[in-house]
Amino acid sequence: MKKYKTAVGYLRISSESQKDGSSIEEQKLSIKSFCTNQGIVLLELYVDTFSGKTFNRPEFENSFKYLKDNRNDVDLFLTKKADRFTRGLKTGLEAFDEISELGIEVNFVDEWIENIQSPQGQMLMHLKFTFAEYERACIYERTRAGERRALQSGRYTKTPPLGYSRGTISRGEFIGKKGMVPNEKAPLVKELFEDYSTGLYNQRELLTKFRAKGLKTSKSAISVILSNPLYAGIIDLKRYETSPFTQIKGCHQPIITEDLFLKVQRIKQGKNKNKKKIRGKNPLFPLNTFLYCSSCGSPMRGSTSNNGKKRNKTTWYNYYRCANNCGESYTPEEIHSKFLSALASIKPSAEVIELFRHILIDNYKTNSRNRIKMLSNINKQIEEVEKLQLSLTDKFARDLLSNEIYQKAITATEYDINKLKTEREQLGDYQDGLDKYVRFGLNIFVSLDYYYKNASIEVKTKLLSSYFNDKLYFDKNKFRTLPFVNIINLICNKNKGFQQLNKKKGANKNINSLVVARTGLEPATFGL
């Protein structure tokens, strides 16, 4: 070998290579020692932390660009071993040929091949690349076998779903072993299940609501989340093609109960017995499925008829009619007018409004804890990236970084900062959100009739489901006593029990539990 040759070093590490001692420092030491002993000038070192399966690796691409730009000044492209260069025979040979066409020799300091372009050298290189690919296949198979054994024992070691992170198990027989643990997004995932279980939301509406809360997801992803038994602490072995292909109890901490998960599955499959069957939403007849005949108890259905085709002018008439044809029928104008009057009569006292305001504030703070954590994490990330920018600028000023690398690094950090700031803006201002939430919550209970009258047909259906827990009957030109849910009865002082409840210790907590359980409608979802 001639002295004073020049070389570019390439280091690669992956989760597999860490186990066989091929650390970055060890690779760097091997290449530097080899160059020193052979009198080779080491020009650059590139480090990748990607799998060797393909060459879609950032630093390899950068090193190849450097080789092309400086082909006349570089003699060697060095790695510690062949498996650091590639873990695939076909892709390895293609990359080897591309570098060789530049007039640069590829070789491996711990597995040096003399005259690598000779037939004997090519044969040895093929064998090394083939063995590296074989070894990758073995590693993959051992990893999959390990995952299957872990799954069979109830330990989930694959990529954690949204709401979980990799961590150390703190319960059961696997305490101290690697698994997954709930993270800061777990409360949002739990809330997602709870909201869907009410039957008041479809998945598109949940997407809008939880994106506003900082949960990055898509409609299809929400469907996958709602169908994933891992959240209930269950591992479905059939999903992972693992015998005995049954569901078993996982050792990870569940985010939701099994009952809640099963309820959500029934709703997704259209088998929810408790959910009202809502007919096609017709803005002319919003009380469809809620209004029942006072004579025979059958549903009242909205329908439209005309005065006959033989008339000179066709006139259309709208009616709510008994589905059992018992003769009961009313015009929508009559029904809707009386209904709005009944809603308008529901007015809470000033004392109740003030109490409810405090309940809303407490509820908002509870629901916003996760958002506050996310905002704090984003601010920390922004601070770390800004520190990195200062460090890069300092190194550039001391000529430790080339202008090209410095500009690329600064551009990348600016992109990261802008992305984080966009995420922070999407989470919104805490105080502004609180003011809107409280104002909306108070207004909707003070003005039930106004919000119902001005809502879209979709929102009217949700409001009716939130207002009432039983059927509506219209009898002798007026509604029978409206079956309001308990929270409205309490808040609007419709029974004497509220006055005693207001005086008891812990009243806020009792009422707040009712509010959380029955509302399910937020300002962002009303569309008013």
Per-residue model confidence (pLDDT) at position 310? 59
Give the CATH fold of the 6-140 domain: Rossmann fold (3.40.50)
Averaged over 213-224, what is the pLDDT? 82
Say whether pLDDT at 497 is over 60: no
Q: Which of 80-89, 100-109, 245-254, 271-280 has the lowest mean pLDDT?
A: 271-280
What is the strand order of the sheet 329-330 is part of? 300-306, 316-322, 329-330
| CA separation for the pair 119, 96 (Å, rounded) | 15
| CA separation for the pair 216, 54 (Å, rounded) | 29
Averaged over 121-136, what is the pLDDT? 91
| CA separation for the pair 420, 384 (Å, rounded) | 11
Per-residue model confidence (pLDDT) at position 31? 92
Give the CATH fold of the 164-268 domain: Hect, E3 ligase catalytic domain fold (3.90.1750)
The pLDDT tens digits of the residues spanning 93-107 come to 999 999 999 999 999
Taking CA 25 as the corner, what is the angle to CA 20 and CA 30, rounded to the nearest 5 degrees? 85
- Asked whether the beta carbons of 66 and 144 are under 8 A apart, the reply is no
Q: In terms of C-beta density within 10 A (0-12 exposed, 13-18 middle, 19 or more buried), how is residue 380 classed?
A: exposed
Say whether pLDDT at 309 is over 70: no
- Which DSSP category does 482 fall into? P
Q: Which has the closest alpha carbon to 52: 79, 21, 73, 25?
A: 79
pLDDT band at 422 (very low <50, low <70, confident <90, very high): confident
pLDDT band at 283 (very low <50, low <70, confident <90, very high): confident
Per-residue model confidence (pLDDT) at position 491? 62
pLDDT band at 149 (very low <50, low <70, confident <90, very high): confident
Averaged over 200-220, what is the pLDDT? 80
Averaged over 31-41, what is the pLDDT? 91
Q: Quick check: bond before 332 cis, omega within 30?
A: no
Q: Which has the closest alpha carbon to 215: 187, 255, 254, 256?
A: 187
Amino acid sitting at position 282: N
DSSP string, 296-330: T-PBEEEEEEES-TTSSS--EEEEEEETT-SS-EE
Per-residue model confidence (pLDDT) at position 432? 58
Per-residue model confidence (pLDDT) at position 96? 94
Say whether pLDDT at 528 is over 50: no
Per-residue model confidence (pLDDT) at position 370? 64
Per-residue model confidence (pLDDT) at position 498? 45
pLDDT band at 366 (very low <50, low <70, confident <90, very high): low
522 vs 392, higher pLDDT: 392
Per-residue model confidence (pLDDT) at position 503? 47
Q: Which of 167-181, 322-336, 387-401 has the lowest mean pLDDT?
A: 167-181
343 vs 45, higher pLDDT: 45
Per-residue model confidence (pLDDT) at position 427? 66
Task: Please state at what angle helix 258-268 crosses helix 186-197, rounded to 10 degrees.
Answer: 50
Percentage with pLDDT > 90 across the chain? 22
**Total residue count of the chain as it appears in this document:** 528
Per-residue model confidence (pLDDT) at position 148? 84
pLDDT band at 125 (very low <50, low <70, confident <90, very high): very high
Using CA atoms of 429, 430, 435, 440 in order, give the dihedral in degrees to the nearest 10: 90
- Which helix or strand (DSSP H or E) is residue 106 part of? strand 105-108
The pLDDT tens digits of the residues spanning 239-253 come to 888 888 888 888 888
Per-residue model confidence (pLDDT) at position 34? 92
Per-residue model confidence (pLDDT) at position 358? 79
- Which DSSP category does 160 fall into? P
Q: What is the mean pLDDT of the chain?
A: 80
Q: Which of 50-54, 75-79, 523-527 has the lowest mean pLDDT?
A: 523-527
Say whether pLDDT at 378 is over 70: yes
- Asked whether the beta carbons of 148 and 237 are under 8 A apart, the reply is no
Averaged over 465-480, what is the pLDDT? 85
Averaged over 104-123, what is the pLDDT? 93
pLDDT band at 111 (very low <50, low <70, confident <90, very high): very high
Residue ranges covered by each domain of the chain: 6-140, 164-268, 291-336, 350-526
List, in order, residues 6 or more apart from 244 with CB less than 8 Å away. Answer: 237
Per-residue model confidence (pLDDT) at position 430? 55
